[in-house]
A and B are shown apart, each in its own frame.
Chain A
Amino acid sequence: MKIRSWRFYAVCVALILATIYILPTLNPGLWPYKTINLGLDLQGGMHLVLDVQVEEALESTLERRTYELRDQMRRERIRYSSVRRLPDGAIAVRLTDAADADAFTAFQQKEFPHMDMRRVTVDQEVEFRFSIPPEERARLRKMATDQALETIRNRIDQFGVNEPDIRVQGERRILIQLPGIEDPERAKELIGKTALLEFKIVEDGYDVQDALKGQMPPGTELLYEIRRDAAGQETGRIPYLVKRRAALTGAALTDARVQFDSRFNEPYVSIDFDKQGARQFDRITGENIHKRMAIVLDGNVYSAPVIQDRISGGSARITGNFSMESAHDLAIVLRAGALPAPVKIIEERTVGPTLGADSIQKGLISMVVGGGLVLLFMAIYYKGAGIIADVALVLNILFIGAALAAFGATLTLPGIAGMVLTLGMAVDANVLIFERIREELRLGRSPMAAIHAGFDRATLTILDANVTTLIAALVLFQFGTGPVKGFAVTLCLGVISSMFTALVMVRLIFDALYARKTTVTQLSI
Chain B
Amino acid sequence: MQLIKPETNFDFIGKRKAAFILSAAMILFSLFSLILHKGPRYGVDFAGGSQILVSFQQPVDVGQVKSALHRMGLDNTSIQESREGQTHLLQIRTIQTFDAESGILAALPKGLQETTGLAAEILSVDMVGPQVSKDLRSQALYALFYALLFIMVYISGRFEMKWILSGAVAGVFIGVVYLFPQIMENLFKITLPVPMLILAALILSLAVFWKLKLAYAMGAAIALIHDVIITVGLFSVLDIEFNLPIIAAILTIIGYSLNDTIIIFDRVRENLPGRGKKSFAAILNQSINETLSRTLLTSGTTLIVLVTLFLLGGGIIHDFSRALLVGVVVGTYSSIFVACPILLLWQKKQAT
Contact = CB atoms under 8 A, between A and B. Distances in A.
Interface stretch (B71-79, B142-150, B187-195): B142-150
Contact of A347 (B1, B132, B312): B132
Interface string A426-466: 01100110010001001000000000000000001100111
A185 B106 contact: yes
Contact of B313 (A366, A476, A478): A366
B294 A432 contact: yes
Given A370-B309, A435-B293, A473-B255, A352 B128 contact: no
B26 to A, nearest CB: 22
Taking residues whose C-beta sits less than 8 angstroms from the other chain, chain A's interface range is: 35 or more
A380 interface: yes
A435 to B, nearest CB: 5
Nearest to A469: B255
A352 B124 contact: yes
A348 B127 contact: yes
A424 to B, nearest CB: 4
B302 A421 contact: yes
Interface in B300-322: 300-309, 311-314, 316-317, 320-321
A374 B305 contact: yes
Interface stretch (A27-35, A254-262, A356-364, A509-517): A356-364
Interface string A466-492: 111111110110111101100110010
Interface in B249-283: 251-252, 254-256, 258-259, 262-263, 266
Interface in B16-64: 53, 55
A349 B127 contact: yes
Given A352-B121, A484-B245, A471 B312 contact: no
A420 interface: yes
A475 B245 contact: no
A369 B312 contact: yes
Contacts of B101: 189, 192
A435 B295 CA distance: 11
Contacts of A381: 1, 3, 297
B140 interface: yes
Contacts of B311: 366
A344 B131 CA distance: 12
A189 B126 contact: no
B262 A475 contact: no
Interface in A367-416: 369-371, 373-374, 377-378, 380-383, 413-414
B208 interface: no
B143 A461 contact: no
Contacts of A377: 300-301, 304
Contact of A475 (B143, B300, B321): B143
Contacts of A350: 122, 124-126
A354 interface: yes
Residue with the highest number of chain A CB atoms closer than 10 Å, among B53, B103, B291, B320: B320
Given A347-B129, A417-B320, A468 B123 contact: no
A369 B254 CA distance: 26
Nearest to A436: B294
Contacts of B132: 49, 346-347
Interface string B113-142: 000000001111111110110000001101
A73 interface: no
A413 B316 contact: yes
B324 interface: yes
Contact of A431 (B123, B248, B256, B294): B294
Contacts of B146: 475, 478
A370 B245 contact: no
Contact of A188 (B100, B256, B262): B100
A366 B308 contact: yes
Contacts of B294: 428, 431-432, 435
A51 B99 CA distance: 12
B308 A373 contact: yes
A428 B125 contact: no
A472 B252 contact: yes
Interface string B320-341: 1100100000000000000000
Interface residues of B, number: 72
Interface string A279-304: 00000000000000000000000000
Main secondary structure of the interface of B (DSSP, over half): helix
A425 interface: yes
Residue with the highest number of chain B CB atoms closer than 10 Å, among A49, A347, A377: A347
Given A349-B126, A370-B309, A435-B294, A421 B324 contact: yes
B244 A346 contact: no
B177 to A, nearest CB: 14
Contacts of B131: 51, 346
A351 interface: yes
Contacts of B309: 366, 370, 417, 420-421
A217 B170 CA distance: 65
A352 B54 CA distance: 10
B158 interface: yes
Contacts of B244: 480-481, 483-484
B213 to A, nearest CB: 21
Contacts of B123: 351-352, 354-355
Nearest to B259: A465
A10 interface: no
A174 B272 CA distance: 57
B91 to A, nearest CB: 12
B256 A425 contact: yes
B254 A472 contact: yes
A216 interface: no
Given A192-B100, A348-B126, A369 B308 contact: yes
Contacts of B106: 185
A473 B309 CA distance: 20
Contacts of A472: 147, 151, 251-252, 254-255
A442 B126 CA distance: 57
A123 to B, nearest CB: 32
Instruction: For the complex of A and B, list the 7 residue pairs with the smallest distance between their C-beta atoms, beginning with the closest.
Output: A472-B255, A346-B129, A370-B308, A469-B255, A370-B305, A424-B305, A479-B143
12 contacts: A185-B100, A185-B103, A347-B129, A348-B127, A349-B124, A352-B122, A417-B321, A428-B294, A468-B155, A475-B143, A481-B244, A491-B252
Given A421-B252, A424-B302, A442-B6, 17 more contacts: A189-B100, A347-B127, A349-B127, A350-B126, A351-B123, A355-B124, A362-B312, A374-B304, A383-B1, A417-B317, A424-B301, A424-B303, A427-B301, A431-B298, A465-B259, A468-B254, A475-B143
Interface of A: 41, 49, 51, 184-185, 188-189, 192, 232, 344-352, 354-355, 358-359, 362-363, 365-366, 369-371, 373-374, 377-378, 380-383, 413-414, 417, 420-421, 423-425, 427-428, 431-432, 435, 439, 442, 460-461, 464-473, 475-476, 478-481, 483-484, 487-488, 491
